[in-house]
């Protein structure tokens, strides 16, 4: 399966959803990966790669290393191996690897090519479209970075075989997000099919990627519609923050966040209780958490303002309109939000 992504400048790239084929590059190639993925799958990848000169840089695993100093270590590797402007980076790992490799590629000699080979379900459906790259710093997540598009993305479902079950669920949460906000038919399909089959997961990845590509094509620099991809994130970020980023995976927090956003949608009359229930049901099928015990609703509410999307002191909520459509609004009053949050006190 191939999804072609056309960019605003009329260039385009392919997302190939299939087993990796042999690839040959008449230029220097650096693979950026982490010890976990390297241990499981580096041989499998290297076996497919033929390059003028190939080297691998392994960076530590996890969000806390997603910083400028790791970027500098990737760049140093590239300089030591005398990469030039025609050289290529390959991101081989999850979202952290993809974001950092893309950012390093965007600033090495003012920009060189890179390819994404995402190995987690989340990065396969989410990070392969949109061109967002970046790192964290003490002020927050992804606050420094660039828009830099890959020249190709290869999604091989084989890598999912070694993915922990919880991480699989976190990826499914993003798939559900795409369906609820933009594609009713896709949501119906998700209710009826099991993503644990390889054929079905390929279809779901393809549909998610196509949906996201459509959204991004409407709004590359996130001035409007693209914000809808943050459905579940406004609440999710607070949950991640309150639990010190060590209780829930990002996708899991987004799962809970979607349930909260749905309650808000029900409260303001945009979604029926039945529709909210159906979304919850699909999430629970993959053991994605849908419950969270809020300690203090006022405190939870204050946390919204720490999000970078709220730097102007307005909270933007993305609320579904039924299933398959959504609304972006900063007009919901604090009282209504507090009332919804109170539903999560027990």
Question: If binding is defined by CB under 8 A, does position 214 make contact with a second copy?
Answer: no
Give the integer Cα–Cα distance in Å for 74 and 57: 7
Q: Say if CB 205 and CB 125 are below 8 A apart.
A: yes
Member of 94, 98, 134, 255 binding a second copy (CB under 8 A): 134
| 183 membership: H or E segment, kind and range | none
Partner residues linked to 153 by β-bridges = 15, 116
Residue 302 neighbours by CB under 8 Å, 6+ apart: none
Does the footprint of a second copy cover residue 306 (CB under 8 A)?
no
Q: Are strands 88-93 and 152-155 parallel, antiparallel or unpaired?
A: unpaired
Given the complex with a second copy, which of 140 and 324 has the nearer CB atom?
140
Q: Does the annotation place 97 within a ligand binding site?
A: yes
6, 44, 143, 291: which one binds a second copy (CB under 8 A): 143
**Residue 79 interacts with a second copy (CB under 8 A): yes or no:** yes
Closest CA to 41 of 25, 19, 23: 19
Q: Which residues contact 17 (CB under 8 A, 6 or more apart)?
A: 1, 2, 3, 155, 157, 202, 205, 206, 209
**Nearer to a second copy among residue 75 and residue 264 (C-beta):** 75
Helix (H, G, I), strand (E, B) or coil at 62: coil
Give yes or no: 212 in active site.
yes
314 flagged as catalytic: no
Does 62 sit near a second copy (CB under 8 A)? Answer: no
Does residue 328 belong to the site contacting a second copy (CB under 8 A)?
Answer: no
Q: Which two tokens stand for residue 83?
A: 């990469």
The reply on whether position 9 binds a second copy by CB under 8 A is yes
Residue 268 sits in the site that holds a second copy (CB under 8 A):
no
By the rule CB under 8 A, 26 interacts with a second copy: no
Closest CB 130 distance from a second copy, rounded Å: 11
Q: What are the residues facing 66 on neighbouring strands?
A: none
Q: Pick the closer one to a second copy by CB: 134 or 169.
A: 134
Residues 6+ apart with CB under 8 A from 320: 180, 181, 231, 261, 262, 265, 270, 271, 275, 279, 326, 327
Known catalytic residue: 41?
no
Binding status of residue 199 toward a second copy by CB under 8 A: no
247 carries a ligand binding annotation: no
Rg (CA), the chain: 20
Q: Name which of 96 and 201 has its Cβ closer to a second copy.
A: 96
Which range in 17-25, 129-137, 164-172, 192-200 contacts a second copy by CB under 8 A? 129-137
Task: Clarify whether 233 is annotated catalytic.
Answer: yes
User: Quick one: tokens of 324?
Assistant: 């398959």
Annotated catalytic residue: which of 34, 41, 136, 174? 174
Through-space distance between the first and last CA atoms of the chain, rounded to whole angstroms = 45
Distance CA 160, CA 170 (A): 12
The verdict on whether residue 38 carries a ligand-binding annotation is no
Residues binding a second copy (CB under 8 A):
8-9, 68, 72, 75, 79, 82, 84, 106-111, 132-134, 137, 139, 142-147, 221, 308, 311-312
Q: Give the catalytic positions in this structure.
A: 110, 132, 174, 212, 222, 226, 230, 233, 237, 250
Q: Which residues are annotated as a binding site for NAD(+)?
A: 61-66, 95-99, 119-120, 132, 141, 159-162
Q: Which residues are annotated as a binding site for Zn(2+)?
A: 174, 233, 250
């Amino acid at each position: 399966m191939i999804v072609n992504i056309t960019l605003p400048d009329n260039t385009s790239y392919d997302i190939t959803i299939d087993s990796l084929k042999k690839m040959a590059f008449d230029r220097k190639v650096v693979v950026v990966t982490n010890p976990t993925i390297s241990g499981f799958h580096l041989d499998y990848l290297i076996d497919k790669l033929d390059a003028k000169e190939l080297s691998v840089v392994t960076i530590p695993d996890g969000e806390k290393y997603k910083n400028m100093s790791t970027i500098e270590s990737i760049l140093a590797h590239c300089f030591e191996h005398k990469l030039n402007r025609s050289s290529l980076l390959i991101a081989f790992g999850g979202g952290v690897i993809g974001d950092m490799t893309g950012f390093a590629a965007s600033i090495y000699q003012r920009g060189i090519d890179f390819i994404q080979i995402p190995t987690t379900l989340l990065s396969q459906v989410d990070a392969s479209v949109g061109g967002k790259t970046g790192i964290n710093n003490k002020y927050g997540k992804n606050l420094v970075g660039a828009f830099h598009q890959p020249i190709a993305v290869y999604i091989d479902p084989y890598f999912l075989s070694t993915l922990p079950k919880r991480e699989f669920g976190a990826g499914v949460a993003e798939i559900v997000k795409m369906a609820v906000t933009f594609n009713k038919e896709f949501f119906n399909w998700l209710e009826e099919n099991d993503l644990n089959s390889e054929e079905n997961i390929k279809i779901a990845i393809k549909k998610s990627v196509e949906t996201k590509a459509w959204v991004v094509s409407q709004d590359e620099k996130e001035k409007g519609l693209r914000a809808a991809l943050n459905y579940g994130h406004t609440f999710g970020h607070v949950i991640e923050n309150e639990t010190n980023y060590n209780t829930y995976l990002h996708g899991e927090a987004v799962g809970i966040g979607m349930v909260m956003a749905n309650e808000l949608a029900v409260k303001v009359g945009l979604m029926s209780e039945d529709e909210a229930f159906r979304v919850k049901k699909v999430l629970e099928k993959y053991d994605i958490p849908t419950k969270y015990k809020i300690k203090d609703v006022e405190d939870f509410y204050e946390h919204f303002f720490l999000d970078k999307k709220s730097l102007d002191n307005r909270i933007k909520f993305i609320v579904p309109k039924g299933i398959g459509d959504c609304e972006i609004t900063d007009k919901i009053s604090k009282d209504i939000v507090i009332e919804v949050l109170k539903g999560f006190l027990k």
